[in-house]
Structure 1
Amino acid sequence: MITTFPCKLTLAAILSVVMFALTAVPDLAQAADNPKKEKVKVLYHVDGKDPEVAKYALALINKHIDAEGGPENIDVELVVHGPALELFEKDKMDPEMQKRFDQIIEKGVRAEMCQVSMKMFGKTLDNLAKGFVATLHPVAVKRIADLQRQGYIYIKP
């Protein structure tokens, strides 16, 4: 009997360690799955003159931000150029599109207007909806390529 008692004690000790490990594993697995969560980086591209497509793009951006759990989890860049510039003129902008645009700006979206397009259409940032900045590179397609190289996911509605 004396020889079996230590085995029972060892078995009990092993079982308690295993039970503890099994209850701790979900916490460890969760911590491994959720190290400091990196922001999703997304680039939305609008270049056409169809107002419905532009409104749709703005709605998608809003939904995307919400789907990621809020602005703190996503970095969104909106790059606009070409004929789409006219859709974003502050004095001519569709009221529904203005509302959607204001919502994304409030959520931290960086909206960039192509510098070349502004020159082509004879417009400045003052002519556009409040919230636009000039593209970091004068040519929007170069800016788009740079953002993709930085890991931004490209979406063109």
Structure 2
Amino acid sequence: MMKFLTRSFILGWLFSLLLSPLAMAAEQEAPLPDTFAAHKVVLQISDTDPFKQTLVLNVAGNLMKYYGPENVDIEVVAFGPGLRLMMKGNVNTSRIKSMMSAGVRFSACQNTLNNFAKKLGYTPEIIQGVQMVPAGAGRILQLNAAGYQILKP
């Protein structure tokens, strides 16, 4: 009986130990937006190409015009080389700020920013108002699970 309780206790302890990082990761996810918009879109930018970065902003703007800001909820998520779009000093900074004021959300990957900091020796500044998320790809999956359509122009 004692061996069973001990083994049971140890297995239970190990199981909870293995699950605790998952619980911590779930707690660190950015909150989902409250929205009643008919259309929910997440735009992925993971490319350093300035043309593709501008294209993502064009698509967001076109969706806002087509559906109207009250009918579409848009979040642009950057990770990998695409994070450069959301760095302070980017040529699109004023356009991003304008889109933010129109209701488009911008999220930047903290993992990527940490890797940039390691390589550069300093942490690049992100445009004010951009939300930091633990993992950009994780944020896209989180939004997709909440009913957002993923677009990668």
Q: Same fold per TM (> 0.5)? A: yes
Deviation at 1:38, TM superposition (A): 4.5
- Of structures 1 and 2, the larger Rg is shown by 1
Equivalent residue number for residue 49 of structure 1: 48
Q: Percent identity?
A: 30
Deviation at 1:110, TM superposition (A): 1.3
Q: Distance in 1 between matches of 2:127 and 2:87?
A: 6
Deviation at 1:134, TM superposition (A): 0.7
Alignment of 1:77-156 (within 5 A): 77-91=75-89, 93-94=90-91, 97-122=92-117, 127-135=125-133, 138-156=134-152
RMSD (Å) for aligned C-alpha atoms: 1.8
Equivalent residue number for residue 68 of structure 1: 67
Matching residue's letter, 2:108: M
Q: Deviations over 1:3-59 (max 9, x none)?
A: xxxxxxxxxxxxxxxxxxxxxxxxxxxxxxxxxx85210000001100111011101
Q: Distance in 1 between matches of 2:97 and 2:58?
A: 11
Q: Deviations over 1:86-132 (max 9, x none)?
A: 233213x11xx2232122111111110001011011165x8112221
| Structure 1 stretches of 4+ moved >2 Å | none
Q: Distance in 2 between matches of 1:38 and 1:59?
A: 20
SS in 1 for 2:48: coil
Deviation at 1:76, TM superposition (A): 0.6
Whether the aligned pair in 2 keeps the contact of 1:62 and 1:103 (CA below 8 Å) is no
Structure 2 runs not aligned, ≥5 long: 1-35
Matching residue's letter, 2:110: Q
